[in-house]
Structure 1
């Protein structure tokens, strides 16, 4: 299904009824990453998966897609579905969007789950890397996509899950360079939302990968402790929806 939004369209799917769970994908991914999760989850509740702006089948409406822009697009979908309160789980960039959703619409979230994500802003080094990414996309989008996705898991894991990784690459290559850079720029300028995260008086979960090459596990442990959040450590890297699919499915079933 699609809704009109800011002179473009936002794609989403909705399965099941009651007690809504919103699943948000990460950078250069799409709602397809949840395909293996939705059937079992939707047996007992409504599961909504959304293609964030510029990703999947959703259009690109700006030169920069801030996390706030993306959160407002998500809210528009929820408004269309008459959802006033929901559990929200976001992978990586989807986690950033979830936090903005909570900031802008503080009564919306029933619970929050960050999957391979963090409430903190980019470090200065990371911001420099974002600028380099934009430059590379403008020069050679294909090279950037393949490199960026390969860097999300360790070589052994990448080899083990080669078919699924290649599917991710194929989907990401369908994105326009404008959409990729819009999201990259948006992540670079996102706010530090740790204080917001810590003060949330709702159930909070951080799902982390023991071998995540992007996020520091020790740092996430400290954040979870200071933020009074449940921490679940999985065996794989940054792509838990591929590397630890069975365990992640069980954890998502526990979200209220």
Structure 2
């Protein structure tokens, strides 16, 4: 199914009924990452999975896909489905979008799960690395995709979950260069949402991989402590939905 946002098709799926939960993927991923979660979750609730702008089967509309624009695209899907309140979980970049959604539509969310994600803005060093990433994508998309995705999982899990990594790479390779760089630039300019996250008066969780190579576990623990969020320590790296699938499914099954 699709809705329109700024002239682009925004693709989504919906399964089950009642007590909705919205699942958002991360950078260079798609709603397909939640495929193993849908059958179990949809037995007891509505599960909505959305391809964010420029990802999966959703179209692109700008040279920069800001987190605010992505959040508004998500809201268009929820408006179409007549969902007024929902739990929401977002992996990595999807978590950034969740936070923007809360800022723009504060009464929409009933609970929030940041999966391998943070309310903090990019550091100066990270912003410089984003610009380097843009140049690398423009020079050699294939090399960038393989390197970026392969580095997300802890080494000892890379062989164990090889098929999952290959699926992610194949999905990312479908993206146009402009779609990848639009997301990178959108993440680079996102605002710091630590204070907004701290003020959230609703159940909020941070899922942190003990060996996450992208977001340091110790830093996420400090953010959770300072914002009143519940920290869930998982054993893997940045891809908890693959490396710790059962534990994450259990969490998403019980949040309201």
TM-score using structure 2 length: 0.99
Q: Distance in 2 between matches of 1:22 and 1:169?
A: 24
1:232 aligned partner: 232
Q: Distance in 2 between matches of 1:20 and 1:70?
A: 19
1:199 aligned partner: 199
2:79 is the alignment partner of 1:83: no
Work out whether residues 205 and 230 of structure 2, in 8 Å CA contact, stay in contact via their aligned partners in 1. yes
Q: CA RMSD in A?
A: 0.6
In the TM superposition, 1:101-112 aligns within 5 A as 101-112=101-112
How much has 1:4 moved relative to structure 2?
Answer: 2.0
2:149 is the alignment partner of 1:137: no
Q: Distance in 2 between matches of 1:236 and 1:74?
A: 28
SS of structure 2 residue aligned to 1:107: coil
Q: Structure 1, unaligned stretches of length 5 or more?
A: none
Q: How many residues align?
A: 256
2:79 is the alignment partner of 1:65: no
SS of structure 1 residue aligned to 2:60: coil
SS of structure 2 residue aligned to 1:168: helix
Work out whether residues 24 and 49 of structure 2, in 8 Å CA contact, stay in contact via their aligned partners in 1. yes
Work out whether residues 157 and 243 of structure 2, in 8 Å CA contact, stay in contact via their aligned partners in 1. yes
SS of structure 1 residue aligned to 2:159: helix
Q: Distance in 2 between matches of 1:92 and 1:14?
A: 22
How much has 1:160 moved relative to structure 2?
Answer: 1.4
Larger mean CA deviation between 213-222 and 181-190 belongs to 213-222
2:38 aligned partner: 38
How much has 1:154 moved relative to structure 2?
Answer: 2.0
Deviations 1:37-80 (Å, cap 9, x if unpaired)? Answer: 01100111111000000000000000000000000000000000
Deviations 1:162-212 (Å, cap 9, x if unpaired)? Answer: 111000000000000000000000000000000000000000010110010
Q: Structure 2, unaligned stretches of length 5 or more?
A: none
